[in-house]
Chains A and B, each alone.
Chain A
Amino acid sequence: MSEVKFSKEHEWVTVAEDIATIGITKHATDQLGDIVFAELPDKGSNVEKDKTAGVVESTKAASDVYTPISGEVVDINQSIVDDPSKINSDPEGSAWFFKLKIKDKSEIDTLMNREEYEKFAKESSN
């Protein structure tokens, strides 16, 4: 598996061959607070880079989840829909959101590595 990459909208991506796994970062969940609702894209649908692909809601507010790369949704993580609190407890592990069949691998190069993302997250929360 490739190194994990990050978007400015606080999503993470890992790539294995032509399949990308996408979720939201620990930094995002810390900002959101307790997540109580998650909505995921439909399996088989096509999602486009930087467009809405889902929703998470905390007790306070709703936030869109964007997809950092384009592709066809080949799998979704139903367990986070059934128990959204999993997103808070393991955001960058078992609480992934959806898997894509990657449309354009070059989109991955536009994303940040961990070091860049951590710097970005720190600056954007100040």
Chain B
Amino acid sequence: MSENNIITPENLVYEKTKVMTDRVLHYCPGCGHGTAHRLLADVIDELGIQEDTIGVAPVGCSVLAYYYFDVDMQEAAHGRAPAVATGIKRVLPEKYVFTYQGDGDLAAIGTAETIHACNRGENILIVFINNGIYGMTGGQMAPTTLPGMKSSTSPRGRDVATMGNPLKITELIAELPGTYYVTRQSVHTPGNARKTRRALKKALEYQKLNKGTCFVEIVANCPSGWKMTPVQSNKWMEEHMFPFYPLGDIKVPEK
């Protein structure tokens, strides 16, 4: 078979899902946000719930998420996405509601909203992108910045004696009785991306059961904030982020 014959509609294996708009993403080259967006959109497409999904966008790099997901979206004030999602889900309980938040939004200004929404066990999906830095505002130190990690506000590296310890908010959330499914994944390799896709799919399926909050953390890179190339940043993430933020399920539903 000649190569030209391979490109036919019946041979299609993978294409950009229709749940993502055709807009060019504003993210820096190699940023994990784009992959995370697409995987979530893929899952919404696969489950056939595009018309029944409502997303809540955060403040941070992913503030423009509403441009990219072709589902109903609502922008929340900084950190308040879980509170907004709570309201949406309670008024429209048959809809699938997700929030998409970064570490500055979810683990700093929005800590209270996040913890209380999870503690109440709101039936929403929280997608948490953890890259250990404030990307949008210029690479400042975030609650999740690693000890010794350099950022524009910790130029000599995070000193835990004066700057405190990184917040493992996902482990914290998993302790709350309101959460049903808590997992930590990444999207930097094909294998990890496929696992993340499965985790997101499970989380949206669980939402139908009304058992509580599903929380999917995605450890991601920030090539611009970390001042590395995308490939270097993925390697750095494997070497430094994963030992501190180990991948895997943290809380799974009891059988």
Q: Does A pair with B?
A: no
Interface residues of B (CB under 8 A from A): none
